[in-house]
Amino acid sequence: MPDSQRMFANADGSRHLLGLQGMHPTRIEPFLDLAESYVLLNRQRKTQRDLLRGRTLINLFFEDSTRTRTSFELAGKRLGADVINMTVSTSSVNKGETLLDTAATLNAMRTDLLVVRHAQSGAPALLAQKVEASVINAGDGTHEHPTQALLDALTIRRRCGSLAGLVVAICGDVAHSRVARSNIHLLTAMGSRVRVIGPPTLIPAEIERLGVEVFHDMDQGLDGVDVIMMLRLQRERMTGGLVPSAREYFRFFGLDAARLARAKPGALVMHPGPMNRGVEIDSQVADHPEQSVIQEQVEMGVAVRMAVLDRLSRGQDRTDR
C-alpha cells in the first residue's frame, strides 16, 4: 500500500477509528451492538463512570462544531473520562509541522483518547501515526466522518431491522461531503444498495467505482427507496457558483412532501444536521412525525460515540498498541 493511501486507511484491528472504507461488517457490527446497550443506558439516565475513570479524552477541534464536540464530550463524561476541549485556530502558518508538534504535546500529556476534527483530509490519520492515544476521526476535510455513518446505520437498523437489501438515497452535495463518503463505505459493506442524487457539479466523477448508482434527477432517484439521507448544503457552494441559488436548488433537489411520496411508503428521512430548512429540506418533511428520524440520529450519536470510546479504550480493538 503506498504511503499516501495508508494515511487514509483504517486497517482492520486498528486501535483508531479513522474511516470506514474497507471495514468488514464483522468489525462494524460490534460497534452497533454495543451502542444499543448505551441507548438503553442513556434512556434510563444512567452512566457508567468506572469505564473511563482516570482516562484523558481530548477533543481537538481545528474546525468548530458545537454539536459534534458536545456529543463526544457527553459520551466521554458519561463514561467517566476527564474531557478537555482544545479548539485550535488554523489561521497560523506551517500547519503540517504544527500538527506533528501537537501530536508530540498530546503524547507528553498522556492523552488516552483523541477526537480530531480538521479541515484537511488525512489530518487525523497523520496524527494517529504519531500519537499513543486512540484517534477518532470526527470529520476530516472531504474524507470521512465515521461516527456519523455509524450513528446513521444504528438509526436505520433500529427502524428497519437490518441494513441488508435496503435501498438508500444520499442526496445533495455528495462531492464535498465526508458524511456521504463514510455512509457509502458503511452501507455498501453492510449490503445496502446506495444511490447518490445531485446536480452534476456536486457529484464527484467516477463515484460509481464505490459501488453506487448516480442520479441527477431527484424524482427518479427517490423512486422506491427505503431511506433518504439529505446532506447539508454549505452556503459556500451557493456563493461559489456550484449552485445557482437556494431557491433554484430547493426546486430541483430539495426534499418536500411531493418528493417524499416517490419513495417507498414509510421511507425514513435523515439529515446529519444542522438543517437548512427551505434549502435542502422542507419543514413539513423534516418534522414528519413517523418518517423523520432526524432527532433519533442525534440520540444515536451519543450512544455510538460511547460505544466507540468504550471499544477503543478497552483494547479489544487494538493490535498495534
Does residue 257 bind its own copies (CB under 8 A)?
no
Out of 21, 68, 71, 192, the only residue in the binding site for its own copies (CB under 8 A) is 71
Closer of 36 and 223 to its own copies (Cβ): 36
Lay out the site mask for its own copies across 270-309 (x = CB under 8 A, - = otherwise): ---xxxxxx----x----------xxxxxx-xx-------
Cell of 213: 448508482
Query: Would the annotation count 216 as a binding residue?
Result: no
Here the contacts of 255-261 (C-beta below 8 Å, separation 24 or greater) are 255/171, 255/218, 255/228, 255/230, 255/280, 255/281, 255/282, 255/285, 256/282, 256/284, 256/285, 257/282, 257/284, 257/285, 259/218, 259/219, 259/222, 260/222, 260/228, 260/285, 260/288, 260/291
216 catalytically annotated: no
Does residue 91 bind its own copies (CB under 8 A)?
no
130 catalytically annotated: no
Three-state DSSP state, 103 = helix
Does residue 97 bind its own copies (CB under 8 A)?
yes
193 catalytically annotated: no
What DSSP element (H or E) covers 108? helix 95-108
Q: How far is Cα 185 from Cα 206, in angstroms, rounded to an integer? A: 15
Q: How far is Cα 27 from Cα 294, in angstroms, rounded to an integer? A: 25
| Annotated catalytic residue, options 15, 55, 117, 311 | 117
What DSSP element (H or E) covers 149? helix 146-160
Residues that bind its own copies (CB under 8 A): 42-43, 45-47, 54-56, 58, 66-67, 70-71, 73-74, 77-78, 82, 84, 86-88, 94, 97-98, 101, 104-105, 107-110, 112, 273-278, 283, 294-299, 301-302
Give binding residues as ranges. 67-68, 95, 117, 145, 148, 178, 232, 273-274
Catalytic annotation, residues: 67-68, 95, 117, 145
Give binding residues for L-aspartate as ranges. 95, 178, 232
